[in-house]
Structure 1
């Protein structure tokens, strides 16, 4: 029997879960944009798997960066019958959501950095970047080398990401012989940090490490300058965005931050991706859009090698992934962590993000 072209076409859903509202919305939309751009490109170039023309469709959901919402969203995506998940953005959403994907046998690819994500024993968990167990020590070693601090204060936003990164940094900096004079917790909705900063000012640290996102780090950095603190502000990939400069004003030049990956200008396809992204969305890249873009291509590569769009066969093909993307090579260890990662250090000069150094892992 002859199969008509209409019958031969198949729509395959790729799930994307990100904070599209709330304090992490800029980073969440950026991540979803990366996924969207890849899907549009693949559809435009044509995809055939098992003799069928495949049209990819984005199933994007808003988890608001909230663990409880993320858990509901994860079940909704499973019910929608997506074949893969790109997301969630923040570890506090990614980790609770991962259980539903594991139970459904759906591969999940994320830029979340909390080590706990891939330590759960799930066969579905894959990470596109380095972890906080690598990022925390890289931050500590960098500031030891460049600033030689004697005293450090640490503040975190009590999220899985912020607290986790701060824990890793604290362990590493103490091992290097630096005195941690205080450890304070706030929350990811806070915008007034003057009480904590006034206390820290009396402790006179050389560095204040902020574990959290740009929405908190912006006002934190601005208020630190207003209160006359001279300590450098240090943070991870959650604060290392273009948005931070808007939120912190001229105080942003006092920030040193890391990203769990290579800087855009050092990515194999970074320059070309930046041009495509700007043309499509008319705005600068905020964070991990290149990785979410690559994630879709990693999934499609698994489809091609499996010669199937079935979720089980895609998942079965993932451990042998070896894909060269915009951001570099994607191959994974037995837990689903990236085999060849890097950590990059940045500061801000006249309000513009400025690359300092890259550490290969």
Structure 2
């Protein structure tokens, strides 16, 4: 599964490199003094289906950093963008994530990492940053929803991500134990569904969110017809859905990411089982923010969950989020391609607040989040419009928003919030 690693220190798309620092130094973080420039690594998949979402997230972060003068307290701050995907795979790659982890640690000026987008990549990078002898090195994700990164889920979770014995991984988004459950509750209570087939992409995120959906669906009285992995390398899934058809499902739940041949999967679902008004299609956030998915005729009518608030809602609520979105649209001519863009800014806000409280070293940046008073971003300043507090015990966030979206007219339209219970 491992391929030769490719490390892209600067963004590979035009315009992303302007705010990124150049070069990479060997060794860990060094003592910094007032006026020094510190680096925040940004680790995202810049190739394949996630490219648009990653570009939008980086652009939003750059825009926000410019708005605050490129500083956190007495320190100048620059972003350095790392690509954790490969062209051959068209998605995040295990070996590239492993290489990036070493390069984060090796860059002496880098004090924290924003990312990753994919939970499986975070599983690789987080323990390396945590074991850094000049750290632990702080990592804050805007999009990792796999529960085990911060709480007990699979064997060894979450301790295996903190080999130093001290936590250094945090996130600003709700987790899949909530998201999967919300999808199942929506299926039962709003759609009245009774027989659901669950498919997963056999990756960390996909298996986790599928398990959460399955467990809650059973509690809600839905008959789960199976929880089966789809082979991401298959040219088509006609045989898979033909075998499912005999079970007479009224729902298919796709737990995974669109990058993993999700387009073909959706096409064959409709070809064999019928349109989504006949057999409902429900996905988690692994299918949100992909223009290719939104543009599929066969995807029309899909219900999606998102572990946060949609861009549409954040604009309507006003405040910092709306101002940032307006500035983004003025500069780039459109809203961000992903609902996760402002959560990328939120994660950056946590990192900048930690840097401001620090002495400029990796250890003190991490300690600012997990020791002492910790980090709280007031609602008036928060990129997502709510007061954000990171738990010093777990690294999880206090806000657990879940949104239900519906794909209508090639647009992911906000349908309703889903209460976390």
Q: Same fold (TM over 0.5)?
A: yes
TM-score (normalised: structure 1):
0.89
Deviation at 1:279, TM superposition (A): 3.0
Distance in 2 between the 1:143 and 1:181 partners?
Answer: 14
| Residue 330 (1) aligns with residue 376 (2) | no
Q: 1:202 to 1:244 in 2, by over 3 A?
A: farther
Distance in 2 between the 1:47 and 1:241 partners?
Answer: 30
Match of 1:17 among 34, 39, 43: 43
Q: The residue matched to 2:198 in structure 1 has which SS?
A: strand
The aligned residue for residue 29 of structure 1 is 55
The aligned residue for residue 272 of structure 2 is 227
Q: The residue matched to 1:24 in structure 2 has which SS?
A: helix
| 1:190-201 alignment runs, 5 A limit | 192-201=236-245
Gaps of 5+ in 1: 1-6
User: Given that residues 118 and 336 in structure 1 are in contact (C-alpha distance below 8 angstroms), is that contact kept between their aligned partners in structure 2?
Assistant: yes
Distance in 1 between the 2:49 and 2:409 partners?
Answer: 24
Deviation at 1:189, TM superposition (A): 5.3
**Cα RMSD after superposing both structures:** 2.1
Distance in 2 between the 1:275 and 1:191 partners?
Answer: 42
Q: 1:236 to 1:191 in 2, by over 3 A?
A: farther
Deviation at 1:155, TM superposition (A): 0.9
Distance in 2 between the 1:329 and 1:139 partners?
Answer: 25
Q: Deviations over 1:249-276 (max 9, x none)?
A: 2x22220010000122333533222222
User: Given that residues 154 and 209 in structure 1 are in contact (C-alpha distance below 8 angstroms), is that contact kept between their aligned partners in structure 2?
Assistant: yes
| Residue 290 (1) aligns with residue 342 (2) | yes
Q: Which moved more, 1:193-202 or 1:264-273?
A: 264-273
The aligned residue for residue 252 of structure 2 is 208
Work out the number of aligned pairs and report it: 348
Q: 1:190 to 1:97 in 2, by over 3 A?
A: farther
Distance in 2 between the 1:196 and 1:329 partners?
Answer: 45
Distance in 1 between the 2:292 and 2:180 partners?
Answer: 20
Distance in 1 between the 2:328 and 2:348 partners?
Answer: 15
Match of 2:357 among 301, 305, 326: 305
Deviation at 1:145, TM superposition (A): 0.7
| 1:92-107 alignment runs, 5 A limit | 92-104=120-132, 105-107=136-138
User: Given that residues 43 and 56 in structure 1 are in contact (C-alpha distance below 8 angstroms), is that contact kept between their aligned partners in structure 2?
Assistant: no
Q: 1:270 to 1:47 in 2, by over 3 A?
A: closer
The aligned residue for residue 66 of structure 1 is 93
Deviation at 1:25, TM superposition (A): 2.4
The aligned residue for residue 274 of structure 1 is 325
Q: Deviations over 1:129-188 (max 9, x none)?
A: 000011011111111111221211011111111111111111111122211112221245
Match of 2:301 among 248, 251, 254: 254
User: Given that residues 66 and 92 in structure 1 are in contact (C-alpha distance below 8 angstroms), is that contact kept between their aligned partners in structure 2?
Assistant: no
Deviation at 1:83, TM superposition (A): 0.6
Q: Deviations over 1:47-102 (max 9, x none)?
A: 542xxxx3212111111112222111111111013111000110111111111111
Q: Which moved more, 1:323-332 or 1:165-174?
A: 323-332
Match of 1:90 among 105, 108, 118: 118
| 1:121-160 alignment runs, 5 A limit | 121=159, 122=162, 123-160=167-204
Q: 1:359 to 1:228 in 2, by over 3 A?
A: closer
User: Given that residues 82 and 100 in structure 2 are in contact (C-alpha distance below 8 angstroms), is that contact kept between their aligned partners in structure 1?
Assistant: yes
The aligned residue for residue 346 of structure 1 is 405
Distance in 1 between the 2:263 and 2:320 partners?
Answer: 30
Q: Return the structure number with greater strand share.
A: 1
User: Given that residues 330 and 339 in structure 1 are in contact (C-alpha distance below 8 angstroms), is that contact kept between their aligned partners in structure 2?
Assistant: yes
Gaps of 5+ in 2: 1-32, 86-91, 152-157
Q: The residue matched to 1:83 in structure 2 has which SS?
A: strand
Distance in 1 between the 2:349 and 2:388 partners?
Answer: 10
Q: Return the structure number with greater helix share.
A: 1
User: Given that residues 258 and 293 in structure 2 are in contact (C-alpha distance below 8 angstroms), is that contact kept between their aligned partners in structure 1?
Assistant: no
| Residue 41 (1) aligns with residue 61 (2) | no
User: Given that residues 57 and 336 in structure 2 are in contact (C-alpha distance below 8 angstroms), is that contact kept between their aligned partners in structure 1?
Assistant: no
User: Given that residues 89 and 112 in structure 1 are in contact (C-alpha distance below 8 angstroms), is that contact kept between their aligned partners in structure 2?
Assistant: yes
User: Given that residues 42 and 79 in structure 2 are in contact (C-alpha distance below 8 angstroms), is that contact kept between their aligned partners in structure 1?
Assistant: yes
